[in-house]
Amino acid sequence: MALEIRRPEMTGRAPLVDGFQRRITYLRLSVTDRCDFRCSYCMPEAMKFLPRSEVLSLEELHKLALAFIARGVRKIRLTGGEPLVRRDMVELVQALGSRLGHGLDELTITTNGTQLALFADRLASAGVRRVNVSLDTLDPALFEKLTRRDRLDKVLEGIAAAKAAGLKVKINAVALKGLNEAELPDLIEWAHAQGHDITLIEVMPLGEVEGDRVDHYLPLCVVQDRLEERWSLSPSTHSSGGPARYFDIAATGGRLGLITPLTNNFCAGCNRLRVTATGQLYPCLGGGERVDLRAAMRSDNPEAMLDAALDEAMQIKPERHHFRIDARGAEPSQPRHMSMTGG
Ligand code: SF4
């Protein structure tokens, strides 16, 4: 059933401002917890996914997004799991795409790329201009080790299709000690040679995984020092509206982002909220605070209940995360996996 194309009532409702006077303008909306990969730092091989009955319908995801736009959210990133494994998700992109210029400034997506070749053209025609593709290595053997799937070719095909469709691609790579550590300069050079920005991300301690995160946590201050021995990294004023700090690298002709939750906290400038595919609003990636938007939406007075729920989220949003990866065998900072909140 096609989603109804309608403008959100810009009724001058109060913008979302939290207890630390941070204005929330960015929603990361997970449309599924399912994924066709099993990345070792994200989820266990035998990951148990949610029954479909618990996941929001397309109509509910759409209504929810409108409620956020009506409260001043300007950027929506669709995430997963892997968002493109949810087949009807393109309808949501098309419906939300019609908001661009009507309360919404940007609609984007984070994907692992395997389905991108199938959807790139439709994403572009729906108004998506940029996509983030998660890619930690160009080495097929390491790729299979990290994702537990032999699909590097599919991802590279997807990236090429996105570029051909006119989408601006940004590569997101998790920096992993002893795994892709030595390859990072080559990955950066490859991305820039393709005309793609690339962002390196520190591992975050979310959910139980096999092995110990201490073994693969690589502080990006260490990586930055090494890269500066090779290239001049000029700080850039560029912002994607997310937590990355950007640098221009004249030698490779491209832009490098660093997302450093553990070595350079960025919570003071937080502008975002996350909603899971089951309609649970997490005001902070690193916090356990949660507001049930699904219950609000399925109540007798969904609009008012949703509004009240968003107000509650502003009251309980914590100042910052308290991520740590410094003790072997330590509990993760949060029991839920990254795939639940879509990063
Ligand atoms: S960890 Fe929480 S407070 Fe910090 S930037 Fe992320 S969502 Fe915002």
The model's pLDDT over 126-155, given as tens digits with 9 standing for 90+, comes to 999 999 999 999 999 999 999 999 999 999
Nearest atom of ligand 1 to the alpha carbon of 321? 1
Residues 6+ apart with CB under 8 A from 222: none
Residue of 104, 112, 108, 156 lying closest to 130 (CA atoms): 108
- Ligand 1 neighbour 273 (Cβ under 6 A): no
- Ligand 1 neighbour 204 (Cβ under 6 A): no
Please give the single-letter amino acid code of residue 120: A
Tokens of 264: 């350079």
Q: Is residue 325 part of a domain?
A: yes
**Residue 179 belongs to domain spanning:** 26-341
Nearest atom of ligand 1 to the alpha carbon of 269? 5
Nearest atom of ligand 1 to the alpha carbon of 261? 1
Average pLDDT, integer, range 232-236: 97
Tokens 């916090």 belong to which residue?
287
Q: Is residue 238 part of a domain?
A: yes
End-to-end Cα spacing for the chain: 29
Per the structure, how many domains does the chain have? Answer: 1
Residues 322/334, Cβ–Cβ less than 8 Å: no
Q: Is residue 187 part of a domain?
A: yes
Cis peptide before 81 (omega within 30 of 0): yes
Residue of 212, 215, 218 lying closest to 331 (CA atoms): 212
Q: Is residue 3 part of a domain?
A: no
**pLDDT above 70 for 2:** no
- Ligand 1 neighbour 320 (Cβ under 6 A): yes
- Ligand 1 neighbour 316 (Cβ under 6 A): no
- Ligand 1 neighbour 284 (Cβ under 6 A): yes
**What pLDDT sits at residue 1?**
47
Q: What is the pLDDT of residues 289-318, one digit of tens each?
A: 999 999 999 999 999 999 999 999 999 999
Q: Is residue 227 part of a domain?
A: yes
Q: Is residue 20 part of a domain?
A: no
**Which pTM was predicted?**
0.94
**What pLDDT sits at residue 47?**
84
Nearest atom of ligand 1 to the alpha carbon of 266? 5
Separation CA 181–CA 177 (nearest Å):
5
- Ligand 1 neighbour 205 (Cβ under 6 A): no
Residue nearest to ligand 1 atom 2, measured at CA: 284
- Ligand 1 neighbour 289 (Cβ under 6 A): no
Q: Is residue 35 part of a domain?
A: yes
Q: Where are the alpha helices (DSSP H) in 57-207?
A: 58-70, 89-97, 116-125, 140-147, 152-164, 184-193
Q: How far is CA 222 from CA 164, 192, 226, in A?
A: 35, 21, 6
**Higher pLDDT residue, 129 or 212?**
129
Judging by beta carbons within 10 Å of its beta carbon (0-12, 13-18, 19+), is residue 182 exposed, middle or buried? Answer: exposed
Residue 337: strand pairing partners: none
Residue of 320, 270, 314, 267 lying closest to 291 (CA atoms): 314
Identify the CATH number of the domain in which residue 237 sits. Answer: 3.20.20.70
